[in-house]
Structure 1
Amino acid sequence: MRLLALKIDVDTFRGTRVGVPRLVEALQRHKANATFLWSLGPDHTGRAIKRVFRPGFMKKVSRTSVVEHYGIKTLMYGTLLPGPDIGKRCAELMRSVAAAGFENGIHTWDHIRWQDGVAGADEAWTRAELNKAAERFNSIFGEPATTHGAAGWQMNEHAYRYEQHMGLRYAADTRGTHPFWPVVKGELVRCVQLPGTLPTLDELLGVDGLNADNVHEHILRMTEDTQPYGHVFTLHAELEGMKLLPTFERLLAGWIEQGYQLVSCGDLYGTLDPTKLPYHHVEMTEIPGRSGVLAMQGAVFP
């Protein structure tokens, strides 16, 4: 059985209100499952402006039309405009996604605060951010979250350790090739990682002639061969749920034609025998098409 798990990162208020319903409709039409990872606190997208000093950031912005995808208003949240509380204002919509049968998990409390701050944060800061998200998730869905997927694939050792403390079923904080037990600074963390195995659309668009009309062909070539543990593809409500929805639907149709069953990350995890998964170091490193460093599956341990 060929499995491909869809992980949907919901970063913004606009992405939640507009992109998510469109994705739900498209997934249902293609009889596909997915995992929705929610930003549960304030939308402070505008504060990302400080990333202009990060190497590679402006190049990525110019390739991916950030203003077009996110909208001017969203890009002012947290600076010129107050950031709307996504969890408070969109709780009913989130519950409707769960009622439709999709898996739900924690993406973050404040997307920009986590993505830009967690790498250098201490244990108290990290626990506070995760606790705020976990408490809001529980208040919306009436049950604890069982998974977390880090904003921007940004983590620190305290976050991995606290995921174990939270009793998560699995986490999806990294990029890599196959599921693994993470080893962080020599410490074995008992929370399986399901890494993203494929590049995201925003990493590919504008590179080597790839555009919204042909990028799906590039990704489909990457999924032609069967992988022992399947694939995990990360998409964003702000991109694939809006302007890039036709591109995403071409991907869905292509994967179905290739014989994939499109599942949630939880479904994919359910097929694994955790006792047989390897241990891998986690490293922070660069990948093509994305500015800065992110959490990657590293060498086998020991």
Structure 2
Amino acid sequence: MSTAGTPSAPLLALKIDVDTWRGTKEGVPALQQALQRHQAGATFLFSLGPDHTGRAIRRVFRPGFLSKVSRTSVVEHYGIRTLLYGTLLPGPDIGRREAALMRQVRDAGFEVGIHTWDHIRWQDHVAGQDAAWTEREMRLAAQRFTEIFGTPPRTHGAAGWQMNESAYAMEKSLGFVYASDGRGTHPFQPVDAGGAPLGVPQLPTTLPTLDELIGADGLTPDNVHEHLLALTAHPPAQGHVYTLHAELEGMKLLPTFERLLSGWRAQGYQLVSTAKLFDSLDIKDLPQHHVAMGTIAGRSGSLALQGVMAASA
């Protein structure tokens, strides 16, 4: 498929996190059509197991959660029914119900990868879990991906940007080529506490997300694109990664996203999958960084961040 622009044009990779059943069946088709209208590539990362969104109610005790909810209407974007899955309603198995739709996205020329098995379970628990728990969750997702697509997964983008050291190691064991699991400023090779390479190269999300911005500093769905376009006015040497959500940009915020697509095209970017951005890099020269847990403005709790550069051997 066409990704628009010239070979020398800067790259902006679009990473689409698909968290819920509703986001899969409603948001994904809408995003696919919008991307095709704008001749843009993207990577769709699917939640492949049960939708237990309702269990996120536990986050009410997390610092910053209530302020985030007050800025972005969770009910409006996710719907009442989705917010009951895993509590008052059984959680639908997304991968079993929507396998054909997922294959159709792949067949349309978009890269597909793993977001998670159980989004809420991973996001709320992985940071404190051991290697056995982590391996089970990742293998469930990898096995389901292979069942759906007939090939093993090549990439992973962690739910809620939540990881632990075992998860990085498992990405290499499962044969992933690269991943986009955290937040940062440029591609890097993660290392462990001792400075040894850990897992696969990382393409961190480099730009803030709409739900982090809307409702703060006078930003609304009608003008937030102007703020993001100001951040991308001067392209970095190794490109940008923008994370969007099927439940947001694929639904109520689709007009905002289309303004972003038009604006990025006007700035001269090629809008591509994370795979295309990865393929543009010289992997041998990637800087090595530790990964740390920290906070991001507009988002509750801590998440995986690109940390300090590792000391040279």
Give the TM-score category using the shorter length: over 0.9
2:221 corresponds to = 212
State the 1:190 CA deviation: 4.2
| Aligned with residue 179 of structure 2, among 162, 171, 174 | 171
| Aligned with residue 84 of structure 2, among 76, 80, 83 | 76
Matched pairs, number: 302
What SS does the corresponding residue of 1:134 show, helix, strand or coil?
A: helix
2:248 corresponds to = 239
2:193 corresponds to = 185
State the 1:268 CA deviation: 0.4
State the 1:167 CA deviation: 1.8
- In the TM superposition, 1:5-84 aligns within 5 A as 5-84=13-92
1:95 corresponds to = 103
What SS does the corresponding residue of 1:188 show, helix, strand or coil?
A: coil
- In the TM superposition, 1:253-264 aligns within 5 A as 253-264=262-273
Once superposed, what is the RMSD of the aligned Cα atoms? 0.6
- In the TM superposition, 1:98-117 aligns within 5 A as 98-117=106-125
What SS does the corresponding residue of 2:191 show, helix, strand or coil?
A: strand
Contact 1:108 1:133 in 2 (8 A): yes
For residues 243 and 234 of structure 2, the distance between their equivalents in structure 1, rounded to whole angstroms, comes to 19
State the 1:184 CA deviation: 2.9
TM-score normalised by structure 2 residue count? 0.96
1:294 corresponds to = 303
Contact 2:123 2:162 in 1 (8 A): yes
2:204 corresponds to = 195
Code of the residue aligned with 2:211 in structure 1: it is: D
| Aligned with residue 148 of structure 2, among 128, 131, 140 | 140
Unpaired runs of 5+ in structure 2? 1-8
Q: Deviations over 1:155-204 (max 9, x none)?
A: 00000011111121100001000000001333421400000000000000
Unpaired runs of 5+ in structure 1? none
For residues 70 and 258 of structure 2, the distance between their equivalents in structure 1, rounded to whole angstroms, comes to 24
Code of the residue aligned with 2:252 in structure 1: it is: K
- In the TM superposition, 1:146-161 aligns within 5 A as 146-161=154-169
State the 1:50 CA deviation: 0.5
For residues 146 and 211 of structure 1, the distance between their equivalents in structure 2, rounded to whole angstroms, comes to 36
- In the TM superposition, 1:263-274 aligns within 5 A as 263-274=272-283
For residues 158 and 115 of structure 2, the distance between their equivalents in structure 1, rounded to whole angstroms, comes to 6
Contact 1:157 1:185 in 2 (8 A): no
What percentage of aligned pairs have identical amino acids?
A: 69
Contact 2:50 2:91 in 1 (8 A): yes
Contact 2:127 2:164 in 1 (8 A): yes
Contact 1:7 1:234 in 2 (8 A): yes
Which ranges of 4 or more aligned residues in structure 1 deviate by more than 3 Å?
none
